[in-house]
Each structure stands twice: as C-alpha cells, then as structure tokens.
Structure 1
Amino acid sequence: MLIGALAQTVGLPSQTIRFYERRGLLHPPIRGGNGYRCYDDAAITRLDLIRAAQAAGLTLAQIRGIVDLRDHGEAPCTHVAELIDSKLVDVRRRLSELTALEAELEQLRERGRRLDPADCTNTDVCHILARHG
C-alpha cells in the first residue's frame, strides 16, 4: 500500500510515518518503479506498536531500543517490562508530587478567600503568595 493508504489505515499523518522511518522505528519501505513508498502489513503492526508504546509513556529512543532488539532476533519482553517498571516508579513519584502541589494550592486558595486585597502592603506583590510565618 502507498503511504497515504497506510496513513489513513493507522490514523497518522504521512509526515509522521516518514519521521519514524528516518528515526529507524519503521523499516524503510520498498520503492516502486515510480519511486513511491510501498508498505506491507508489517508496517501497520509496527506503527500500532509505536503508538501503544507512546501511550504507555515510552520515549521514541526507548521504542527504538525495543524495535532494535526485535529486529536483531531477540524478544524484547524483559526489556519492555523493565521500562514499564521504571515508568511506573516515575508516575508514582509524579503523582506524589502532584498530591503535595494540590494540597499547597488548596491552602493558597483558602488563604485567598480569607484575606482582604485592601490589606496588601506595597512590599507584598500579592499577600496570598507572600510567606507568612
């Protein structure tokens, strides 16, 4: 199939497919006599994998590592599991940070509701955000 048909099938712009080719995520397609790219069903499978990996939060470099393992005849499952474990640790850390930020914002919102803007001094840019001991 031509790149336009592939793009429509997988729901990606043709430019994205070309980008993935340049980054080594997608095998270079066979070129027809007219120079057009001709893709097979393996390209659909690979693009589906790329999208699923991105949805899981993996970077293009990490995805490249996965497809390189597969392209060299190795099953990348152990590597993928390690990447997912690492991503999960990162997500949990970020959730903890966001929970702390949420609590801080709640406190600032409550402070803002209690304070009178007329009480703001010239030295305070905004007394809601000013440090109070």
Structure 2
Amino acid sequence: MENHLKIGELAERTGCLVETIHYYERKGLLPEPARSKGNYRIYNEEHAEQLRFIRHCRSLDMALDEIRVLLAFRNTPEENCSDVNILLDKHIGHVADRIEELKRLETQLQELRTKCQQSSAAKDCGILQELAAGEEAQPRKLGSHGGGCH
C-alpha cells in the first residue's frame, strides 16, 4: 500500500511551503492528487519525488517552462535526451548573460559609491544627489562607464 501524505506532511518532507505545492499543482508541474472521502488532497511518494525534482531545478534558477520540459522527459525515460542537453545549454547561456548584467550593475554601483567618500549631512551626500538626478540622466552617465565592460 502506498504511503499517503497530507499536504502538510508533503510540505514537511520536502521542505516546501504548502502554498508553493498548490502553485505547482495549478501550473501543472505536480500531478493532481487523489482525494479522500472528506475531499482532502492525498499525496504519495511520487508527488514527493517530483516536488524534490522541481525544487532542485528551481535551485538552479530554471524557469517553470524549462522544468515542465524536463519533467516530460523524466516521465518518458525511453526518449532521447538530446533536447535536455539543448535546454541546459540555453539555460547556461541565460545564466552567463545575467552574470554579465550583474557585473555591469556592480560597476554602476561602485561608480555611484565614489560620489560620497565621507560622512556628511544627507543634503550634501553625492550618492543621494546622483540618485535624485533622475532615471533618465543616470543611465546615460553610468551607461558610458558600463560600455567599457561589454
């Protein structure tokens, strides 16, 4: 007989919030659980394993659509996994792009930090003055510095 779990038990077993389990169900990432006579959701070990898989994918910053594709392959073990490799290669590219964006952001923040080298009255703070210059002025100025990072 399968081990039946209530949603709280599933959450505790997998380290996942109850709300997140419901969310993954709505998004079609977790199979619909059986219902008890009292209409409570009844989960099993398959749900726990799939939830752990989803959480691991999320820890690698994979999008729900990517996870959906990976789950489809996981659930059809005889399929060729070449598309899994392609998906992961694309994800690695997205991560590399984000790293570059974060490096540019770091450069912009470091430049902003140079605007105030010592404590003074807030009215004289170069960082606050630079931020107050407006959204339009700042990207042009910082963008010229960020251009050297490309």
The verdict on a shared fold, with TM-score over 0.5 as the criterion, is yes
- The letter for the 1-side match of 2:22 is R
Taking only aligned residues, the RMSD between alpha carbons, in angstroms, comes to 3.2
Q: Which runs of 5+ in 2 are unaligned?
A: 118-122, 142-150
Q: Which residue of 1 aligns with 2:144?
A: none
Radius of gyration: which is bigger? 1
Q: TM-score, normalised by structure 2?
A: 0.65
| Residue number among 38, 51, 59 corresponding to 1:34 in the alignment | 38
Say whether the 8 Å CA contact 1:29–1:39 is kept in structure 2: yes
Aligned pairs for 1:55-74 (under 5 A) are: 55-71=59-75
Residue-by-residue CA offset, 1:25-74 (whole Å, 9 max, x unaligned): 11111112222211111111000011011111111122122223444565
User: Which range moved further: 90-99 or 26-35?
Assistant: 90-99
Q: Does 1:109 align with 2:113?
A: yes
Match of 2:88 in 1: 84
Instruction: Return closer, same or farther for 1:5/1:108 CA change in 2, 3 Å cut-off.
Output: closer
Structure 1: gaps (5+ residues):
none
Residues in 2 aligned to 1:27 and 1:33: alpha-carbon distance in whole angstroms: 19
CA separation in 1, counterparts of 2:80 and 2:52?
16
For 1:13 and 1:89, the matched residues in 2 are separated by 30
